[in-house]
Amino acid sequence: MASAAVSEAFEAPEQHRRPLRVAVFTTSYPRSADDFSGRFVRGSVENLRARGLEVEVVGPGSYRDFGLTANNGAGFIGNLRRRPWLAPLVLLSMIFALRRAAKRADLVHTNWLAGAVVAAFSGRPFVVTLHGSPTAGRFHDLGLAETAPRLVRWILGRARTVICCSDRLATTMRGCGLKDVRAIPYGVDVPDEVGDEDEPASVLYVGRLSPEKNIDVIAEATDGLPRIVAGDGPDRHLLPDTIGFVGPDEVSELYGRAAVVVVASSAEGLPNVVLEAMAHGKTVVATPVGGIPTVIEDGKTGLLVPVRDAAALRAAIEKALVDRELRRKLGRGARKRVDGYCSWSRVTDATLAVYAAAVPEAARETGIQPAVRPAVV
């Protein structure tokens, strides 16, 4: 969906000016080069630093988390539900860690709905990014906005800006009565080369093997087809041929080998797997949930199928597997779409625009100057 819009670009701070200082709070952040946890947060941090900002990450390891941020597919809230008595201890540890970092910062940028609770005690202006992640269960931001909009408004009401990873999530948050809400997608790198497909053409799944991903549907729809599965989780028994979690370089190689990438979730924010596969020029077959329809237009930039419809998913996969020209057409459209919508330069520009509005005096001191340019969104 292309439309005229405004994206704000920023000049880098001049050498003699101090950098804008930001403390980023997160419960998910890569612990090693092979860790995929919170890679969308890391990507943002790296690109902000490249623009001259001074960014301190307050993530796992900066506070005592009692193992609740472990990369086990359950997510922080899912792990906390199993040991709820740890909530006060973890919250205090997070608050103290963020307050220490915030003393050196102009602005706090926190992630997830629960992160806004921590940021409220930071003593600094803060902005919040919501990711629409379904792993939070009933505390899922979309679900909570529908069942308890006043609670969501109370939690997020002190934020200078609420950033949402998709237009749908942003619309829902505005419906809760929040005023300054902006939709900013995740950034993605578009590689120069798309890789050579396996022969015969294969289908790839990358991600958690957990119920909200409808692994049973994927197993049924891909049964007997050449497939590669990279991931782990409680539903591993449904896809026992999985190679487990692998690092970013290996995943990039898998994208290159695959003809089709499948996502069959019941709920999503804006999956990095979808953006990365599209950037690699792959045909993505996905369900129209969360922010997915923002980037996938059925028949032009990918294929969309109904949620929990294994027959429709199988038919779409087989259609793409047997038609190389269709795959090439969809792949070209996919690369063009993500390059125009969520290149890192555009995403970082939009994030800096939020920062400049949240702390205008500090932005002026650091030399961040907005400029206006057209964008395709």
Model confidence band, residue 2 (pLDDT cutoffs 50, 70, 90): very low
Token pair for 146? 């529908």
Is the separation of the CB atoms in 22 and 47 below 8 Å? no
pLDDT of the residue at 1? 42
pLDDT digits over 185-212, tens only? 999 999 988 888 999 999 999 999 999 9
Over pLDDT 90: what percentage of the chain?
A: 73
Model confidence band, residue 84 (pLDDT cutoffs 50, 70, 90): confident
Mean pLDDT of all residues in 75-104: 88
pLDDT digits over 220-252, tens only? 999 999 999 999 989 999 999 999 988 888 999
Token pair for 54? 């001074």
3-state SS, one letter per residue, for 199-214? CCCCEEEECCCCHHHC
Query: What's the chain's average pLDDT?
Result: 89
Token pair for 192? 């120069």
pLDDT of the residue at 335? 97
pLDDT digits over 269-314, tens only? 899 999 999 999 999 999 999 999 999 999 999 999 999 999 999 9
Could you write out the DSSP letters of every residue in 5-38? EEEEEEPPPPTTSPPPEEEEE-S---SSTT--TT
Distance of alpha carbon 354 from alpha carbon 247, whole angstroms = 32
Model confidence band, residue 6 (pLDDT cutoffs 50, 70, 90): very low
pLDDT of the residue at 143? 81
Model confidence band, residue 324 (pLDDT cutoffs 50, 70, 90): very high
Instruction: Determine the number of helices (DSSP H) and then strands (DSSP E) in the chain.
Output: 15, 13
Asked if the model's pLDDT at residue 371 lies above 60, the reply is no
pTM over 0.95: no
